[in-house]
Amino acid sequence: MTLRHALCTALLAALVACANRPDVGGTIQVGKVQGVFVEQYPGVFVDRRVAGDAANGKPVWVHVKFAQPLGDGRRLASALAGNELAIEPGDLVEMRLRVTAPASLEGVREHNQVTALIAKYHTEAAQRFDQTDRRALQRLTEAGG
């Protein structure tokens, strides 16, 4: 096993280990970015590549696909990414999924939020993300390697 392969395996094992950890504001999931959009006007989303200079200072959103379905069966979700992360399609990101608001907070808008850029699209971890067998990674994690 090469050092590069070992590092990639360790990264993927770490991703699986943290993929479903609970968080104060919801659950944390790791997924692959399918698209990056700019909210030009409230509720109007434009692909960031098309938006060009008009994207400056506007909220950035990503559409993310998960390797395995979430508890409710979904494999896709959108999340607010912010402007500070240079996220591109194919990147792996960590995101916090919103918690369903209790009836007393129905008017409060909480969004899914990207919390970290895990790996860029050109890395082996990002390229192999969709091909990863979660059970095999869990066995690696449990075996300590």
pLDDT in tens, 97-114: 986 554 444 554 578 999
Nearest to 95 by CA among 37, 15, 40: 15
Comparing 1 with 77, the larger pLDDT belongs to 77
Domain that holds residue 63: 23-131
Q: Is residue 54 part of a domain?
A: yes
Buried b (16+ CB within 10 A) or exposed e, 73-86: eeeebbbebeeeee
Q: Is residue 100 part of a domain?
A: yes
- According to the model, what pLDDT value does residue 12 have? 39
Name residue 19's amino acid.
Answer: A
60 pLDDT higher than 60: yes
Name residue 6's amino acid.
Answer: A
Q: Which residue has the tokens 């990002």?
A: 126
91 pLDDT higher than 80: yes
Comparing 104 with 78, the larger pLDDT belongs to 78
What's the token pair of residue 16?
């699986």
Q: Is residue 118 part of a domain?
A: yes
Q: Is residue 9 part of a domain?
A: no
For the chain, give the percent of residues with pLDDT over 90.
Answer: 32
Name residue 141's amino acid.
Answer: T
Total structural domains in the chain? 1
Q: Is residue 4 part of a domain?
A: no
- According to the model, what pLDDT value does residue 90 have? 95
Torsional class of 36: left (φ above 0), alpha (ψ -120 to 50), beta (otherwise): beta
Comparing 88 with 14, the larger pLDDT belongs to 88
pTM: 0.67
- According to the model, what pLDDT value does residue 19 have? 40
| Mean pLDDT (whole number) for 40-63 | 85
Dist CA 83 CA 88 (whole Å): 12
Q: Is residue 125 part of a domain?
A: yes
Task: Report the mean per-residue pLDDT for the chain.
Answer: 74
Q: What is the dihedral of CA 33, 14, 113, 124, to 10 degrees?
A: -20
Q: Which residue has the tokens 């869990």?
A: 138
